[in-house]
Amino acid sequence: MREVDLVVAGAGPAGLTAAIYAARSGLSAVVLEKNTIGGQVALTPVVENYPGFANVPGKRLMEIIAEQARHYAEIHEGEGIEEVKLGRNVEAYTSKAVYVAQALILTTGATWKRLGVPGEDRYFGFGVSYCSTCDGYLYREKKAVVVGGGNSALTDALHLKNLGVNVTLIHRRDAFRAEKYLQEALAKEDIATVMHAEGHGNFGRRHHGHGRARAGRLRGDEREIPTDAVFVAIGLHPNTAIATQLGLTLDARGFIQTDRANRTSIPRIYAAGDVTGGSQQIVNAVGEGSTAALSAFEDLTHPYWKK
C-alpha cells in the first residue's frame, strides 16, 4: 500500500500538468498510466498549435513535458487504475498496488472513433486526420473530405471551408444528425455533400511522390473523390470507466461534468482534459490539469478537511 496526497489517472498532457502543479503546491502526487506516457499527443505526428512550439512532433512534446513532470512526481507506466473505492480516503487499485490518497484527478482522455477502412491506419498523419482544428490549416487551398453527419462533422466542414479548404462532406445516411443551425450554415456556405456513402476500399491511396491521401472511394456508386485529406468525424468516446464506477455526474454526451474549477460532482474527485469534453486540444488539457490540481490543493488545505 502506498500513501500519497493525490493520485492522477492518466499521463497525457492534462495528467502530467496536474502532477507538476500539485507537487509545486506541496502535495505529493503519483501519476498512474495504463499505457505509455503522452496520451493521444504521443501518437500525433506533428503539433503546430501549442504555443511556444511552431512545429514539434507530438512524441517529442510529451517527452519534454514528462521530463519536467518527473522532477515533481512518480509516473508509473503500464499501471492503469482498475478500481477506485471511496471512503474518507480514495483508494486506487491497480494490478500492482493500492494507492491511498486524499484526492483523485481523472485525466483519462477520450478515444476517437475510427472508420475501420483499409488505408485509415497507414495514412494516419499523411492525409488521414481526426482533428480539423489540429490539421485543417495544412490543407488551405487544397481539397478535403469530411466523413460523418453529426455536429462534429458539420462543424469540421465549416471550419475547413472557413480556412479556404475545398471541402466535401460525405455521410452514410440520407439525413444529417447535426443540429439544424449547422445544417443551415452548411447549405449557406454551399459545401458539397454526398449522402448514402461511406469511406471504403481505396480510402487514403498514396499518391506517387506525395505521400498524402488522394482518394476517397464511396460505397454505392463507387465514386472516387480525389482529395488531399480525409477528416474522420464520426465521434469520440470519453474514457469514463472510473467515473462511471464512482457514480460521477456525466453530461448529455457522456463526458465528466465539472465546474469551472474542475471539481466533479463528488468532493475531492476532479477531472481535466478531453474526458470533460470541451475543445479537446492540448492547450485546454494542460489548462484544466493545472486548475484541477490547484482546486485539490485548495480543498485539501481547507480547515474542514485538515481536522
Q: Which residues are catalytic?
A: 131, 134-135
State which residue, 194 or 232, has the beta carbon closest to ligand FAD. Answer: 232
The single residue listed with the C-alpha cell 465521434 is 235
- Judged by CB under 6 A, which stretch of 13-21, 205-213, 216-224, 297-305 contacts ligand FAD? 13-21
Among 69, 72, 80, 295, which residue sits at the site for ligand FAD (rule: CB under 6 A)? 80
> Least distance in Å: CB of 113 to ligand FAD?
11
- Which residue's CB is nearer to ligand FAD, number 118 or number 125? 125
* Nearest-approach distance from CB 33 to ligand FAD, in angstroms: 5
Which own/partner pairs from 121-127 qualify as long-range (CB within 8 Å, at least 24 positions apart)? 122/204, 122/206, 123/204, 123/206, 123/212, 123/213, 123/230, 125/44, 125/45, 125/46, 126/204, 126/206, 126/211, 126/212, 126/213, 127/204, 127/212, 127/213, 127/214, 127/227, 127/228, 127/229, 127/230
Least separation in angstroms between residue 303's CB and ligand FAD is 32
Nearer to ligand FAD, 38 or 149 (CB): 38
- Span near ligand FAD by CB under 6 A; candidates 32-40, 97-105, 259-267, 297-305: 32-40
Under the binding rule (CB under 6 A), the answer on residue 136 touching ligand FAD is no
| Binding flag, residue 245, ligand FAD (CB under 6 A) | no
> Contacting ligand FAD (CB under 6 A), which of 4, 6, 10, 123?
10
Residue 196 or 237: which CB sits closer to ligand FAD? Answer: 237
Which residue intervals of 56-135 are DSSP H helices? 58-70, 132-135
Spatial distance between the Cα atoms of 142 and 221, rounded to a whole number of angstroms: 24
Which residues, including other chains, have CB under 8 Å from residue 231's CB and lie 6 or more apart? Answer: 129, 130, 131, 132, 135, 136, 144, 145, 146, 147, 156, 160
Q: Which three cell numbers stand for residue 295?
A: 482546486
How many alpha carbons lie under 13 Å from residue 44 in its C-beta half-sphere? 27
Run of H or E including 192: strand 192-194
203 Rama sector, left if φ>0, alpha if ψ -120 to 50, beta otherwise: beta
Residue among 116, 297, 303, 289 at smallest CA distance from 204 = 116
x/- letters, 263..282, toward ligand FAD (CB under 6 A): ----------xx-----xxx
- Residue in 4, 6, 7, 81 binding ligand FAD, rule: CB under 6 A: 81
Task: For residue 39, state whether it binds ligand FAD (rule: CB under 6 A).
Answer: yes
Binding mask 200-239 toward ligand FAD (x if CB under 6 A, else -) reads ---------------------------------------x
CB 75 within 8 A of CB 33: yes
Decide the pairing of beta strands 90-93 and 98-101: antiparallel
Residue for grid cell 488551405: 140
- Of 123 and 176, the one with the shorter C-beta distance to ligand FAD is 123
According to CB under 6 A, which one of 6, 11, 145, 169 is a site residue for ligand FAD?
A: 11
Quote the least distance from Cβ 236 to ligand FAD, whole Å.
Answer: 9
Give me the residues that bind ligand FAD (CB under 6 A), please. 9-15, 32-35, 39-41, 44, 47, 49-50, 80-81, 107-109, 112, 130-131, 134, 239, 242, 273-274, 280-283, 285
